[in-house]
Amino acid sequence: MLSRVMLLEAALAVGGAVAASKSCPANLELSCHNTTAVDTCCTVYPGGQLLMTQFWDTDPSTGPADSWTIHGLWPDYCDGSYPQFCDKSREITNATQIMQAADKCTLAYMEKYWLDYQGDNEQFWEHEFNKHGTCISTLDRKCYSEYQTSQEVVDYFKTTVQLFKTLPSYKWLAAAGIVPSADKTYTLAEIQAAIKANYGFEAIVNCNKNTKAMNEIWYHFNTKGSVQTGKFVPVQPVGSSTCPKTGIKYLPKYGGGSPSATTTTGGATTTTTTATGTATTSGPAPTGGSALSGKAYLYVNTPSDSNGGFLISGGAWYRAGGTPATYTATPNADGTTFQLNSSKGKCGVQADSSFSCASGVTASNFGYDGSFLTYNGANTFYAASLPTGTQQGVVYTSQKAVSLQVTWSPRS
Ligand SMILES: *[C@@H]1O[C@H](CO)[C@@H](O)[C@H](O)[C@H]1NC(C)=O
Ligand SMILES: *[C@@H]1O[C@H](CO)[C@@H](O)[C@H](O)[C@H]1NC(C)=O
Ligand SMILES: *[C@@H]1O[C@H](CO)[C@@H](O)[C@H](O)[C@H]1NC(C)=O
* Sequence spans of domains, the chain: 2-249, 259-410
Query: Along the 412 residues of the chain, how does pLDDT read in single tens digits?
Result: 334 333 433 343 343 334 446 678 888 999 999 999 999 999 999 999 999 999 999 999 999 999 999 999 999 999 999 999 999 999 999 999 999 999 999 999 999 999 999 899 999 999 999 999 999 999 999 999 999 999 999 999 999 999 999 999 999 999 999 999 999 999 999 999 999 999 999 999 999 999 999 999 999 999 999 999 999 999 999 999 999 999 999 999 988 754 433 333 333 333 322 222 222 223 333 334 678 888 888 989 887 777 788 999 999 999 887 778 999 999 988 888 999 999 999 999 999 999 999 999 999 999 988 778 999 888 899 999 999 888 999 999 998 889 999 988 877 5
Cα-to-centroid distance, 97 and ligand 2 (Å): 8
For this structure, is 71 an active site residue? Answer: yes
Ligand 1 lined by 8 (C-beta under 6 Å)? no
Tell whether ligand 1 has an atom less than 6 A from the beta carbon of residue 182: no
Whole-prediction pTM value?
A: 0.62
Q: Is the CB of 340 under 6 A from ligand 2?
A: no
The CATH architecture of the domain made up of 259-410 is Trefoil (2.80)
Probe target for ligand 2 pocket from 90, 92, 93, 98, with the most ligand atoms within 8 Å of CB: 98
Q: What is the 3-state secondary structure (H, E, C) of the chain?
A: CHHHHHHHHHHHHHHHHCCCECCCCCCCCCCCCCCCCCCCCCCCCCCCEEEEEEECCECCECCCCCCCEEEEEEEECCCCCCCCCCCHHHCCCCHHHHHHHHCHHHHHHHHHHCCCCCCCHHHHHHHHHHHCHHHCHHHCHHHECCCCCCHHHHHHHHHHHHHHHCCCHHHHHHHCCCCCCCCCEECHHHHHHHHHHHHCCCCEEEECCCCCEEEEEEEEEEEECCCCCCEEEECCCCCCCCCCCCCEECCCHHHCCCHHHEEEECCEEEEECCCCCEEECCCCCCCCCCCCCEEEEEEEEECCECCCCEECCCCCEECCCCCCCEEEEEECCCCCCEEEEECCEEEEECCCCEEEECCCCCCCCEEECCCCEEECCECCEEECCCCCCCCCECCECCCCCEEEEEEEEEEC
CATH numeric code, 2-249? 3.90.730.10
Is the shortest distance between the CB of 97 and ligand 2 below 6 Å?
Answer: yes
